[in-house]
A and B are shown apart, each in its own frame.
Chain A
């Protein structure tokens, strides 16, 4: 857990739909503008997490890694 993000969620080893499910719940509990660092290892997350951010109206601040492990930083939007 790093101090620069409001929350870190480690979804290592989890397959779809669990990373999106857990991230959705975490973001739902956060306030607008707070940031979530999300760690995933499902290759599907490469596309799923950006798609989730688009659909929820959150900002994807950064995405790094490869199919084996990815780190995303999301900023909660004003909506959902």
Chain B
């Protein structure tokens, strides 16, 4: 029996946007599905060797975020750091693994981490800047993968 397949697009590189893709991919893989995530534009930070450890929660433009403040107040230095710390505390208290560990879990189950080649070119990200095991893919390659998927989501 051919396993089911999940194809995700992760286009945002904030801490609160990274979790949904990683939770869905890990769950799919745990159920015996194939899972692949296409990390594009700011989403590429999630698989960046350094940046994936420092993803932040934006205080501005995130009205439901942990630090809900008017845009002008959110622009005050430290608001994003406060929102990030607060979310990290919530996740830690709930026993949720941090992003690097979620990535390890996903990779350990065979989840494909696909880095958008255009984003790499635009943002000057080299293959060495990515976590080991990431694959580089263009839009056509990802769509070819997604066309064979049972579930495709833009996270």
Contact = CB atoms under 8 A, between A and B. Distances in A.
B105 A21 contact: yes
B33 to A, nearest CB: 7
Please report whether the interface of chain B is mostly helix, strand, loop or mixed according to DSSP.
loop
A58 to B, nearest CB: 9
B30 interface: yes
Interface string A44-60: 00000001100111000
B32 A55 contact: yes
B105 to A, nearest CB: 6
B32 A21 contact: no
Interface string A17-36: 11011011100000000000
Given A21-B105, A79-B1, A15 B30 contact: no
A17 B31 CA distance: 11
Contacts of B3: 80
Contacts of A80: 3, 32
A25 B95 contact: no
B153 interface: no
B89 to A, nearest CB: 15
A57 B30 contact: no
A20 B29 CA distance: 10
Contacts of A17: 23, 26-27, 30
A55 B95 contact: no
25 contacts: A14-B95, A15-B94, A15-B95, A15-B96, A16-B23, A17-B26, A17-B27, A18-B96, A18-B97, A20-B27, A20-B30, A20-B31, A24-B29, A24-B30, A24-B32, A24-B109, A25-B30, A51-B31, A55-B4, A55-B31, A55-B32, A55-B33, A56-B32, A57-B32, A79-B32
Interface of A: 13-18, 20-21, 23-25, 51-52, 55-57, 79-80
Given A25-B30, A55-B33, 13 more contacts: A17-B23, A17-B26, A17-B27, A18-B96, A18-B97, A20-B27, A20-B30, A23-B30, A24-B30, A52-B30, A55-B4, A79-B1, A80-B32
